Amino acid sequence: MRVNPVGTVEVLTGSHSHGQGHETTFAQLVAGRLGIPIENVAIVHGDTDKVQMGMGTYGSRSGAVGMSAIVKALDKIEAKAKKVASFVLEAAEADIDFKDGKFSVKGTDKSVDFASVALQAYVAHKFTGEQLEPGLKEGAFYDPTNFTFPSGVHIAEVEIDPDTGVTTIAKWTAVDDFGVIINPMIVEGQVHGGIAQGIGQALLEGAVYDANGQLLTASYMDYTMPRADDLPSFRVDHTTTPCPSNPLGIKGCGEAGAIAAPAAVMNAVTDALGHENIAMPATPQAVWLAARASFAKAAE
Amino acid sequence: MPKVSMTVNGKRVSADVEGRTLLVQFLREHQRLTGTHVGCDTSQCGACVVHVDGKAIKACTTLALSCEGANVITIEGVANGTELHPMQAAFRTHHGLQCGFCTPGMIMAAIDMVNRLGTDLSEETIRHELEGNICRCTGYHNIVKAIQAGAAAMGGMKVAAE
């Protein structure tokens, strides 16, 4: 985490973003903590010229693990900045408070803003090199102490046409507990995408090979991706039980939809058909055959 | 090599191209307009949608030569300077994108939808019309919301202009 002399901040993170919105969520965290405008925070990722080490974004961990590392770096930045502020404000370090982007001396109206402290950290006019090493740049690594345990319920309401075997998702309701949420819009977006992927897995998507090993589903002509008219809008909500094992109380969210959706869809399909032997993807043909088997059994 | 000329985002351009050059190659490689994406190369995913003479087409399966003299608009041509097109702004406001790969095609398809069907679009209409555009990230939920809002905003813009 590099604080520039003008008070802008660059965060070099090993958590790569390819659509998960880290540039927004991570910046929100840093801007909120330092009391600076969000546009003053740059999130740098995915460039090995700049970021020394990264292991990507996977396992719903960038919030819980990546942001915990950012919190640790923020702790160090704040501690160092307090030292600088104590020289600027000519007060004991223990008497310095930091709130809303301002360092102030307890019980007085003396204060200095974050950007001024950043500049003083580098120009070092208020302290000597012996008293304090100039600069405001810190790094942190974070190794999780435990897994996070998100939980939730997804309810799929499906309609099956027994004549054609086509399954329609009529309604979707999901409530998840991701612990503390920094950006609800982004988290909901992750859930939407996961549900769509899970529905695709349950009903549409499958890699099909012929007997000679030739892939038959080699393009989107044959591999059935979920399209907009295969899906409903989703009703998504959350409860908040902070995670005890990381500083922000965050649990993983990225995979939630894709974990819950296949099970919810297949439970709904088997419930509708009274037939448990349906493999994913439950294509119209598979559902039609299963429906016929159920009807035949009922007629006996 | 044959020469092809067309208007791209209001600018007259021409180049000598191989006969097999696709419109999307002409735009991306000759004109360096890389906002138009190539996803599947088979007309399935819609990442390459541009407007040719006012109609949305898939540029990955259109020969550049077949666009001789045409008026082509790409995603780079829809904003007014630094001011986003209302449909672009709606995608931003409603979190209608995650990785962003499908977004240029989604927005060009959405603007075309409004041009053909008007500014008051139902969710059902939007979902049906999006049949030719695939998104792997969003589950379409916020794309549908964005298009509905963007269409309404385009309506407001028209009223203001009249």
Residue A127 has pLDDT above 80, yes or no: yes
Nearest to A19 among B100, B123, B144 (CB): B100
What mean pLDDT is predicted for residues A169-189? Answer: 98
Over residues B28-46, the pLDDT tens digits come to: 999 999 999 999 999 999 9
Q: How far, CA to CA in Å, does A202 sit from each of A58, A225, A248, B83?
A: 22, 11, 34, 42
Contact A196 B133 (CB under 8 A): no
In B55-114, the residues whose Cβ lies within 8 Å of chain A are: 95, 97-100
Alpha-carbon span A69 to A75, nearest angstrom: 10
- Domains with residue ranges and CATH for chain B: 3-77 (3.10.20.30), 86-161 (1.10.150.120)
Shortest alpha-carbon distance between residue B121 and chain A (Å)? 14
Share of chain B above pLDDT 70, in %: 97
Contact B136 A220 (CB under 8 A): no
The Cα angle at residue B130 between residues B126 and B133, in degrees rounded to 5: 155
pTM listed for this prediction: 0.94
User: Complex ipTM, two decimals?
Assistant: 0.94
Q: What was the pLDDT predicted at A232?
A: 98
Nearest to B144 among A188, A189, A228 (CB): A228
Task: Kindly indicate the confidence band of residue B159, based on its pLDDT and cuts at 50, 70 and 90.
Answer: low
Over residues A190-209, the pLDDT tens digits come to: 999 999 999 999 999 999 99
Residue A222 has pLDDT above 70, yes or no: yes
The answer to whether A244 faces chain B, any CB pair under 8 Å, is: no
- Domains with residue ranges and CATH for chain A: 2-123 (3.30.365.10), 151-299 (3.30.365.10)
Contact A189 B98 (CB under 8 A): yes
Q: What was the pLDDT predicted at A267?
A: 97
Q: What was the pLDDT predicted at A67?
A: 96
Over residues A269-278, the pLDDT tens digits come to: 999 998 878 9
The answer to whether B122 faces chain A, any CB pair under 8 Å, is: no
Alpha-carbon span B47 to B38, nearest angstrom: 6
What is the helix (H) or strand (E) element at residue A10, kind and residue range?
A: strand A9-12
For the record, the structure tokens of A152 come out as 């939730």
Over residues A64-91, the pLDDT tens digits come to: 999 999 999 999 999 999 999 999 999 9
